[in-house]
Homo-oligomer: A and B are copies of this chain.
Amino acid sequence: MYENKYLSIYHDIVSKIRQGHWKPYDKLPSENELAEQYETSRETIRKALNLLSEHGYIQKMKGKGSIVLDVGKYDFPVSGLVSFKELAQKMKTPAKTIVHELEVIKPGEYLKKHLHVTNKDEIWKVVRSRKIDGEHIILDKDFFHKKFVPVLTRAICEDSIYEYIENKLKLKISFAKKEMFVDKVTDEDRKYLDLNGYDHVVVVKNFVYLDDASLFQFTESRHRLDKFRFVDFARRNH
């Protein structure tokens, strides 16, 4: 297992915090002490501590030191790019994915605008619903460039497309833009979701970019109002 020094230090400190080696509001050893303990330079320690800070594990204070934060409170990925599978595991509720549509289409006007493709390009369209506690609560509509994802099967869609893309296809997802708003339910929502009488859904649009800044996926995720929840952890830097 190859890992950078600063990453291994980061992971070591994370696990020590999680195991209660340091408790919330405890002071961490100083950067100089940590540099000695881990037999490395201070800058490397600082890289590890900055990661801890960005991920909400510690708070650094100039002239004072670094304190451990209440980790349970912030135990979620830093705003977004969570796949449904991770989410389902976190929630510990049995969840199931049903694939309704899986086909290659030509982009219409709407997709051409969002995916920056031409008429000649072929696009994967995947429509899936997510069943949690016996109810179909989320409707996911994914669109991928076929040139990025040449093969896609029902089995892959039932598992996790993200996992397939990152681990099998080795495409590197770099950043994503999310938009959230509320929309009236559509016929498609009525067809695939258990709406429970609600006439609106929360829509999360997700634009996913690869390492070279090319937009390769556009996803629209439609959530039943009462089951939607989003958590965001933002650190003020400048």
Set of chain B residues within 8 Å of A107, measured between Cβ atoms: none
List the number of copies, as a whole number. 2
In A47-74, the 8 Å CB interface with B consists of 54, 56, 59, 61, 67, 69, 73-74
- Are B80's CB and A232's CB within 8 A? yes
Task: Please tell me if A161 contacts chain B, counting CB pairs below 8 Å.
Answer: no
* Given A79-B232, A182-B225, A202-B182, A175 and B56 contact (CB-CB distance below 8 Å): yes
Task: Please tell me if A180 contacts chain B, counting CB pairs below 8 Å.
Answer: yes
Interface size class of A (residues with CB under 8 A): 35 or more
Task: Please tell me if A98 contacts chain B, counting CB pairs below 8 Å.
Answer: no
Annotate A170-205 by CB proximity to B: 1 below 8 A, 0 otherwise: 000111111111100000000000000000101000
* Besides A81-B236, A179-B231, A180-B231, 6 new A-B residue pairs in contact (Cβ under 8 A), listed by A number: A59-B174, A61-B212, A74-B177, A79-B79, A178-B234, A232-B232
Q: List 26 A-B contacts (CB under 8 A).
A: A54-B237, A59-B211, A73-B177, A78-B234, A79-B79, A79-B80, A79-B234, A81-B236, A174-B235, A175-B234, A175-B236, A176-B236, A177-B231, A177-B232, A177-B233, A177-B234, A179-B230, A180-B180, A180-B228, A180-B232, A181-B230, A182-B182, A182-B225, A182-B228, A202-B202, A232-B232
